[in-house]
Structures are given as structure tokens and as C-alpha cells.
Structure 1
């Protein structure tokens, strides 16, 4: 079988991430700009993010492996033989996909955003990027950091579990659904402290977009503390921890006479 070109892989990562963010930021925009609360709530946000992940993975899986997340890409390079030379290009493609998706949402929802927040403040910044406590007081930076480490460790640990053939993983065409449900579950269980970014591209791409489209405080949290770095650094640390946990606590005990990773997951 002919290997995919790097360009094709990057296009797939760009488009898969774009689909993910279109659904994710789109649903948050719909909920936040709904003045009567009729356009959804926390549960609809969690479900739409998960569905967005599933659809993004279906878009890109057979071409690039559908990482859609720099933290996942780094974990795959650490533990699954993914080429380190591709880590930066993949991460850039993911960032650009998230940026373009956020730009589309920003444009389409511009009127409603202006209606509820004409000065583009913290009130609607959360449509695009995460904040400690989802913009409310009471969550410290260390708590938000640890939250993102834990959430991303769970994400990568389970991704490894459902893409490892020796682990009785679901068939390749069902893995995206399971991963989407995983993101729904993380959103419902780990969304309060820091908005479950669990993906540097998902947060930084839209954050940069808002910075250049009127949100002057986009790099900061609601208290004026520089915050953009946290949803980048903490998920990467969490991803490496989650990958290491699976490799050393589960994978080493799996049957050795079967292929390690399903062909479609490579």
C-alpha cells in the first residue's frame, strides 16, 4: 500500500481538527448567546464536543491517523513510533484547523456575540478558549493546571486502550465513536475546573483568533493572570503520563502473539 504524503496527512489533520472545532465552539457560541437559555446547556456542550471529535476522526483517520491534538501527537511519538519529525508539522496543521474553524464561528455568530457582549469581554471569550472555573471565581491556577493534566492523561490512556489491537479494542470503524463518547464523559466529569481543553490546538488556535478580532484580554484569565500557556503545557504533560501509564501498566501484560496496534490506528 502506498504511504500517504506528508502534505496529505497535514491536510487531513487540518480538516479533521476544523470539523472538531466547528462543532465545539459552535455549540458554546449557541449556548452563550442564547438570552433565554433555550439553545442548550452544559450537557449539549459536552455532547456536541464529543460528536465533533467523532466526526473529525472519521474525516482524517485513514489518511493521518486523526490525532487532531498536539498532545496526542506527542504521546504517539513517545510510545507508538510516530516520527518526531512530523510532530511540529502535525501540531501546526491542527492549530491552523482550529484557528480557521474559530474564525468561521466568530464570523457567523458575530451579530449574536455583539448583542450579548458588545465590548468583547470575558463574558463571551469562553466561547473560544478556556478559563479557570469557566470564568467564575474559586479555581486557582495550580488546580486548573492539575485538572488539565488529569483530564488529558485520561484521554490518552483510553485512546491507547481503544486503538491497541491486543487489548480487544473496538473495530477500527467504531473507535471514533468510542473516543467521542470518551470526550463527552470527560466534559461531564472534568469540565468545571478549567473547561476541559485537553488539547493545545483546540484552545490556542481559537484564542489567537479572538486576540486579533477584538478580545484584548484573550491571553489572560478573568483575573488578569497570563493563562494561554496552561492549556498548552498541562495537556502535553498529561498526555505523556497517560501514554506511559497504559504502556507500563496494561500493555506489558497483553498477549504477545498478536499485533500491538490495529492497522488503521498506525
Structure 2
């Protein structure tokens, strides 16, 4: 009798990559959003700024561990676009990678909502808001601090994602520090913790369009309404900014470091 695993095995590489990116991004958003929920809904008793940063970093590590061996562990549309532009990801993969990432992020936010539904109701009395003392929209997507302008918020997202891709390209460059593949998820997770600890104050360091847009869509549907998109005209910043920053980071690393290794054997 054939094993169940033999009967269920997918022969299509694109299908395997799709499901891997979906699952990795789902775990990323579920763990990350849940860490914010725990902090906000407990009035920071069960979590604070540092714990949220650590949770997001570990969530990235978990996501990459889950799908890295199959799809490369992008779990971020900005990473996928940047890798395609520098020739490290075939363009034919971009559409289904992005679809998997956005879908995984949506379901990760939905799962967080279900787990914390009673706590949400206890916190805001069922009145879902974007701003105010009992605002909860920020559990799922990023919003700007009161002091932040759109321009500086955009720059913030560009720089944060620039640093992410700069580090990711260095970590995965076999001609540089020769990082073992098993350590890549851990090091990328540490990079995310560092970015959060350094740049989280302004607007929560989305640095991942799927991590922000899909949960924003979910909250718009789940009771927070269209204010999740109209609030300070912010919604586009954590989508466009990370894409720009990712392309800059990957391109700069390639042009200043990676393209200049001497030929193999010399």
C-alpha cells in the first residue's frame, strides 16, 4: 500500500512554492500580529515595544524556516520584486509568489482576530476604531504616529526595507561570509529585530507590503471600516515604500559588493 505522503505529494514546483510562501507568510503575520494584540489588549502588561520587536523577528525566522528550502523564504512581496529585478528570482514566479504572500497574510490576520476576539471586545466594547484610547486597528496594520508626515513616513519605510534587503543579500551571498543555510533564518530574524528596535517608533516598520495591506483589508471587512484606508491617507506608504527600499537595497548590494568578487579559482 502506498504511503499517504506518496499519494499527497505535489509534482508541480510552482504549486509547492505557492503553498510554501503561503504558509510561511501566514505564520509570520499570525505570530507578529498576535504579539501586538497581546501588548495592546493587556495595556502593555503582557508585552511591550521590545517584546513585539523580538516576536516579529522570531516570526520572520519561523516563516523562512518553514518555506526557505522550497521557495527561498521570501514571505514579502518587496523581497520577491527585488530578487526578480536583480536576476535571483524568475519573473514567472512573481505573480504566484505575491498571491501566496497576500493570501497568507490575510488569513494570518484573520486567525489573530479569532484568537483575540474576546479580548478585543473586552478592550473596546465592540467599537472598532483606528485612533483613540481604545484603538485596535494598529494591532493588524501600521499607522503613523501623530508627529509623522507622509513624506518622512515614506522615507522611513524606504530606509527600513533598504536595510532589510541589504542584510538579506549579504547573508545569502555565498561569496561573502559563507553563512550556512541553516543559519540564514536566524540571522534574518535578528535583522528584523534590529530594524524594529531602531525604526519602530514612527510607524511600526511594516517593511512588507503583504504584512500591512492584507491585514488592513481584513480589518476594513471585519468591523473597522474604510477608515483603515482613509486615515491620514497613509495606506499606500507601507506598500510603495518597502518596494522602493527593497529594490534599492538589493541593487546597491549587487553593484557595490556582489558583482565584484573575483572569478572562481582566482
Give the structure-1-normalised TM-score: 0.91
Match of 1:130 among 131, 142, 145: 142
Structure 2 residues not aligned, in runs of 5+: 1-10
Match of 1:196 among 183, 205, 214: 205
Q: Kindly provide the CA deviation profile for residues 148-192 of structure 1, in whole angstroms up to 9, marking residues without a partner as x.
A: 000000000110000010012310000100000000000000111
Offset of 1:229 from its aligned partner?
1.3
Q: How large is the Cα RMSD of the aligned pairs?
A: 1.4
Tell me, yes or no, if structure 1 residue 231 matches structure 2 residue 241: no
The aligned residue for residue 15 of structure 2 is 7
Question: Which aligned runs of 4 or more in structure 1 are off by greater than 3 angstroms?
Answer: none
**Count of aligned pairs between the two proteins:** 250
The aligned residue for residue 162 of structure 1 is 171
| Structure 1: distance between partners of 2:239 and 2:42 | 29
8 Å contact kept, 1:120–1:215: yes
Stretch of structure 1 that moved more, 111-120 or 237-246:
111-120
Offset of 1:252 from its aligned partner?
2.5
Q: Kindly provide the CA deviation profile for residues 14-65 of structure 1, in whole angstroms up to 9, marking residues without a partner as x.
A: 0000111111000000000004x32010000000000000011000011111
| Structure 1: distance between partners of 2:240 and 2:82 | 13
The aligned residue for residue 21 of structure 1 is 29
Tell me, yes or no, if structure 1 residue 220 matches structure 2 residue 227: no
| Structure 2: distance between partners of 1:75 and 1:139 | 27
Match of 1:114 among 109, 118, 121: 121
Stretch of structure 1 that moved more, 78-87 or 190-199:
78-87
Offset of 1:228 from its aligned partner?
1.6
Offset of 1:4 from its aligned partner?
5.9
Tell me, yes or no, if structure 1 residue 173 matches structure 2 residue 192: no
| Structure 2: distance between partners of 1:171 and 1:17 | 23
